[in-house]
């Protein structure tokens, strides 16, 4: 990644493979790639790559004919601008692994107070959260639609043509542009092509639309607390007399690392009622998400837990996964 403008080639660094189609003037025609927690190749197919390549050639002809408007070049950036990354990799002649760039950008943001966890940790919001299932071999053709997208008028068979007014040709284009939507946004604008007609849609964004399953990028998510949980259902909360909008969660997994580093004393089956006395949050619907959003690595706190019908309190210690960085 040396001698590469990572400002121009800016993408979610936890992708396993990622392509750009561009010209000698470094005008990017499109991106190709994108993944989710299901698989590294959820959105990859040779058919859709061929479609993208054919469109790329068409755009290149337009560029050569002077018919393609130039896009402003993004601010230049280099992996060498991140001193902690330089120390970790360049100085020891180690490989500058793709995810390390994202990780160290976040470390620097954390240091200078610009880390926005909703944006920088929860990259690449999942379009399935708003009800869009793509027919992957066909590129941006919608296979199934439900939820917010259906409510906005999207239909199976539509081809997504623009996101927030920007032309998109591939799933990577969509994922990249969708990721740029402010996390405070209440809606996102999508244009679809339907039977040759372009239709503008406004999709209302549900609560936590930006949330994605981060397990496949766990080494990039800080702090670590070594347990996994799920939000209690409304019925479960009702039975326990807990607030329906609270963050009470059921502990479904505890890593042995929790005991090794004395992070906490949680057990599978525990119900976490609050963190540091907070039983609800604007963004978090579980204790683990609350900890990620509100704690820095190394922070301590207190968990209030329901175990075998009794309320107990226990200390919490969060950890930085330093060995990867």
Contact yes or no for 298/318 (Cβ under 8 A): yes
DSSP class of residue 237 equals H
**207 binds other proteins, rule: CB under 8 A:** no
Residue for token pair 């403008």: 5
Q: Which of the residues 48 through 107 are near other proteins (CB under 8 A)? A: 50, 53-54, 56-57, 60, 64, 95-100
Q: Which is nearer to other proteins, 89 or 188 (CB)?
A: 89
Find the binder of other proteins among 10, 19, 77, 138 (CB under 8 A). Answer: 19
Q: How far is the CB of 50 from other proteins (least distance, A)?
A: 7
Q: How far is the CB of 164 from other proteins (least distance, A)?
A: 24
Q: Which is nearer to other proteins, 68 or 261 (CB)?
A: 68
Q: Under 8 Å CB-to-CB from 300, ≥6 apart: which residues?
A: 315, 316, 317, 318
Q: Which is nearer to other proteins, 11 or 283 (CB)?
A: 11
**202 binds other proteins, rule: CB under 8 A:** no
Query: Phi and psi dihedrals of 302, rounded to 5?
Result: -130, 135
Residue 189 burial (C-beta neighbours within 10 Å; 0-12, 13-18, 19+): middle
Cα 63 from Cα 60, distance rounded (Å): 5
Q: Which is nearer to other proteins, 19 or 211 (CB)?
A: 19
**20 binds other proteins, rule: CB under 8 A:** yes
**247 binds other proteins, rule: CB under 8 A:** no
Torsion angle defined by CA atoms of residues 287, 297, 116 and 149, in that order, rounded to the nearest 10 degrees: -40
Q: How far is the CB of 53 from other proteins (least distance, A)?
A: 4
Residue 169 burial (C-beta neighbours within 10 Å; 0-12, 13-18, 19+): buried
H helix intervals, 72-134: 83-88, 98-112, 117-120
Q: How far is the CB of 134 from other proteins (least distance, A)?
A: 21
Contact yes or no for 188/21 (Cβ under 8 A): no
**281 binds other proteins, rule: CB under 8 A:** no
Tokens of 279: 């039983």
Cα 100 from Cα 321, distance rounded (Å): 13
Cα 232 from Cα 238, distance rounded (Å): 10
Find the binder of other proteins among 18, 43, 122, 210 (CB under 8 A). Answer: 18
Q: How far is the CB of 85 from other proteins (least distance, A)?
A: 13
Residue 272 burial (C-beta neighbours within 10 Å; 0-12, 13-18, 19+): buried
Site for other proteins (CB under 8 A): how many residues? 32
Q: How far is the CB of 118 from other proteins (least distance, A)?
A: 24
Find the binder of other proteins among 7, 26, 218, 244 (CB under 8 A). Answer: 26
**195 binds other proteins, rule: CB under 8 A:** no
**1 binds other proteins, rule: CB under 8 A:** yes
Q: How far is the CB of 56 from other proteins (least distance, A)?
A: 6
Pairing outcome for strands 249-254 and 159-163: unpaired
**139 binds other proteins, rule: CB under 8 A:** no
Q: Where do contacts with other proteins occur on this chain (CB under 8 A)?
A: 1, 3-4, 9, 11, 13, 15-24, 26, 29, 40, 50, 53-54, 56-57, 60, 64, 95-100
């Amino acid at each position: 990644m040396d001698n590469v403008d990572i400002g121009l080639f800016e993408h979610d660094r936890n992708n396993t493979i990622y392509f750009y189609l561009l010209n000698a003037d470094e005008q990017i025609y499109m991106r190709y790639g994108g993944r989710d927690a299901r698989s590294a190749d959820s959105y990859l197919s040779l058919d859709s790559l061929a479609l993208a390549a054919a469109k790329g050639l068409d755009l290149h002809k337009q560029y050569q004919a002077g018919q393609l408007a130039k896009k402003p070049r993004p601010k230049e950036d280099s992996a060498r601008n991140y001193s902690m990354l330089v120390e970790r990799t360049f100085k020891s002649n180690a490989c500058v692994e793709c995810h390390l760039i994202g990780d160290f950008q976040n470390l620097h943001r954390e240091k200078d107070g610009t880390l926005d966890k909703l944006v920088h940790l929860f990259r690449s919001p999942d379009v399935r959260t708003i009800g869009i299932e793509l027919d992957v071999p066909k590129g941006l053709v919608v296979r199934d639609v439900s939820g917010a997208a259906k409510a906005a008028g999207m239909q199976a068979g539509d081809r997504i043509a623009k996101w927030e007014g920007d032309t998109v040709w591939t799933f990577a284009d969509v994922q990249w542009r969708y990721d740029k939507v402010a996390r405070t946004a209440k809606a996102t604008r999508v244009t679809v092509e339907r039977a040759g007609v372009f239709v503008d849609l406004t999709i209302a964004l549900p609560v936590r639309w930006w949330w994605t399953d981060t397990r496949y990028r766990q080494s990039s998510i800080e702090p670590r607390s070594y347990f996994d949980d799920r939000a209690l259902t409304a019925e479960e909360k009702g039975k326990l007399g807990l607030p329906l909008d609270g963050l009470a969660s059921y502990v479904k997994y505890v890593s042995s690392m929790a005991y090794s580093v004395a992070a906490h004393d949680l057990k599978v089956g525990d119900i976490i009622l609050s963190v540091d006395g907070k039983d609800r949050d604007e963004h978090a619907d579980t204790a683990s998400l609350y900890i990620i959003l509100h704690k820095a690595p190394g922070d301590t706190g207190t968990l209030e837990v329901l175990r075998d019908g009794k309320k107990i309190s226990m200390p919490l210690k969060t950890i930085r996964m330093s060995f990867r960085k």
